[in-house]
Structures are given as C-alpha cells and as structure tokens.
Amino acid sequence: MKKILVVCMGNICRSPTGEAVLKNKAERLGIDVLVDSAGTIGFHQGNPPDRRSKAAGEKRGYSFKGITSRKVVQDDFDNFDLILAADNANLADLKQQCPDHLKYKLALFLSFGSSYYQEIPDPYYGEGDGFELVLDLIEESSDAILDSF
C-alpha cells in the first residue's frame, strides 16, 4: 500500500483538506492508499481542522472524520512514499528536516496536474472564497497524484 502525507504549516486548513479529498477520491477509484496530513509547526496539535475549511469540504461531500492536527515527525520521512507540501516555505522546512537520501519523496502538491498556481494559498486569514479556491486546486491535483500510483 502506498502512503501519502500532505503538509502545510499548521495542519488545520490546507493539509487536512488535501487528506480528505485524496482519501475520498482514492476510495471512489478503488486505489489502495493511506493518506495522512501534518504541519511543519505543532501549534494546533490535537485540534480538528479549521471550521471554515471543514464546512467548505463537507459542502462538496468530503469527510473530515478522525482528522486532527499533528506535527511532522522524523519517522514520517521513512514511513511515507510521497510527502506533498502546500507551498514553497513548507517544502523548504521539510527539506531541512528530511535526510538527504529520502528527499526524492518531497514535492509540491500542485506540481501534479496542470494548475496555473504553484502553491496552495493559505486561506486562514481570509474569507470563504479562499477555502473554495483551496478545494478547487486540491481537487484538480488530486486526480493527477492518484494517477501517478
């Protein structure tokens, strides 16, 4: 079974959305994959996803059941086949933590697919339309990510 880790800064908006979307799409397609999410900081550790992020995702039929914030740990680099960062800042943080021989596992989430965007913008300080854009970008790239398996 392949394992994917989706990473953003706090693990309450973008990465839990990526986890929920990838899990749902993989299940619908019958792809055997384990998906998890984490943050590069542990400020929100143990908290559920941001209510706005969850509401936007649930409106599109995604389940956030069982998703809680956690920080990236060293074992993640060994345990996951693909580690997808929401943006370049988080990718840089991951590259600093990741052993050199495992850096091939790291990529930007939006490097899959054909999005005009290179990074998933952080909607935390914005309004509802930011959460919709995050979902649009994640949905588009998720298909390409799962096709790569």
Sketch the domain layout of the chain as residue ranges: 2-147
Beta strands in 40-81 (DSSP E): none
What is the reported pLDDT for 9? Answer: 98
Active-site residue, 14 included = yes
What is the reported pLDDT for 127? Answer: 76
Active-site residue, 122 included = yes
The active-site residue, picked from 8, 13, 50, 70, is 8
pTM of this structure? 0.97
52: nearest Cα among 115, 131, 117, 106: 131
Active-site residue, 60 included = no
* C-alpha distance from residue 96 to each of 40, 41, 84 (Å): 11, 13, 15
The active-site residue, picked from 50, 76, 93, 122, is 122
Dist CA 75 CA 47 (whole Å):
21
pLDDT single digits (tens) 10-57: 999 999 999 999 999 999 999 999 999 999 998 999 999 999 999 999
**Which fold, 2-147?**
Rossmann fold (3.40.50)
Altogether, the residues listed in the chain come to a count of 149
The active-site residue, picked from 14, 36, 76, 98, is 14
Dist CA 45 CA 11 (whole Å):
8
